[in-house]
Amino acid sequence: MSRTHVPWRPASLSEFIGQEPAKQRLSMRVRADIAQCTPLPHMLLYGPPGTGKTTLAELLAHERGCPMMPTTGYKLQKRTDVWMLLKGLPLDGFRREDERLVRIPGIPTKPVILFVDEIQGISNEAAELLYRPLEDAVWPCTATMNGVRDQFIYWDLPPFTLIGATTDAGDLPQPLVDRLKTHIYMEPYTPDEMRRITASHAAKAVERAEEIACENSGTTFYPRIWNESAIEAISIRSRSTPRIAASLVAEVASWAVVERASVVGTVLVDRVMAALGIDECGLGELDRRIMRTLAAVGKPVGIEALAAMLHDTRNNIVMAERYLMSLEAIHRTARGRELTNKGTGMVARWGGGRGDDGAEDTIGDLTLLREMVAMIDDDDDEFEAPAVITAAAAKDPWAAARDPNPTPMPGSM
Express each pLDDT in 303-337 by its tens digit: 999 999 999 998 889 889 989 999 999 998 888 99
Structure confidence at residue 350 (pLDDT): 85
One domain, residues 167 and 204: no
Q: Tell me whether residue 299 is in a domain.
A: yes
| Boundary of a domain, candidates 229, 254, 276 | 276
Give the pairing type, strands 100-103 and 94-97: antiparallel
Structure confidence at residue 375 (pLDDT): 56
Q: Tell me whether residue 410 is in a domain.
A: no
Structure confidence at residue 118 (pLDDT): 95
Q: Tell me whether residue 103 is in a domain.
A: yes
Structure confidence at residue 367 (pLDDT): 54
Q: What residues pair up with 336 in beta bridges, in sequence order?
A: 333
For 236, the domain range is 191-276
One domain, residues 341 and 195: no
Q: Tell me whether residue 14 is in a domain.
A: no
Structure confidence at residue 294 (pLDDT): 93
One domain, residues 250 and 297: no
Q: Comparing C-alpha atoms, which of 333, 330, 331, 325 is closest to residue 387?
A: 333
| Boundary of a domain, candidates 128, 152, 185 | 185
Q: Tell me whether residue 11 is in a domain.
A: no
pTM of the model: 0.79
One domain, residues 196 and 308: no
One domain, residues 23 and 144: yes
One domain, residues 132 and 57: yes
One domain, residues 127 and 208: no
H-state helical runs in 88-147: 124-136
> In this structure, what CATH number is given to the domain that contains residue 151?
3.40.50.300
Which residues are CB-neighbours of 104 under 8 A, at least 6 positions away?
93, 94, 95
Q: Tell me whether residue 408 is in a domain.
A: no
- 3-class DSSP assignment, residue 141: strand
Catalytic residues, by residue number, are 53-54, 117, 167, 243
One domain, residues 89 and 160: yes
Beta strand residue intervals within 66-125, DSSP E: 68-72, 94-97, 100-103, 112-117
| Boundary of a domain, candidates 185, 214, 241 | 185
One domain, residues 199 and 148: no
One domain, residues 210 and 169: no
Q: Tell me whether residue 1 is in a domain.
A: no
In the chain, the number of structural domains is: 3
**Structural contact between residues 146 and 194, judged by C-beta atoms closer than 8 angstroms:** no
Structure confidence at residue 190 (pLDDT): 93
One domain, residues 391 and 300: yes
Structure confidence at residue 217 (pLDDT): 63
Structure confidence at residue 193 (pLDDT): 95
One domain, residues 38 and 150: yes
Structure confidence at residue 373 (pLDDT): 55
Q: Comparing C-alpha atoms, which of 18, 8, 55, 49 is closest to residue 241?
A: 49
Using one digit for the tens of pLDDT, what is the confidence trace for 139-168?
Answer: 988 776 666 667 788 899 999 999 999 998
Pairwise CA distance, residues 148 & 377, whole Å? 57
Cα four-point dihedral sign 395, 401, 402, 408: positive
Q: What residues pair up with 225 in beta bridges, in sequence order?
A: 263
> In this structure, what CATH number is given to the domain that contains residue 271?
1.10.8.60
Low-confidence stretches of the chain (pLDDT beneath 70): 1-7, 144-149, 217-221, 352-413
Q: Comparing C-alpha atoms, which of 162, 134, 170 is closest to residue 47?
A: 170
Amino acid at 350: W
Q: What is the DSSP string of 183-203?
A: EEE-PPPPHHHHHHHHHHHHH
> In this structure, what CATH number is given to the domain that contains residue 393?
1.10.10.10
Q: Tell me whether residue 331 is in a domain.
A: yes
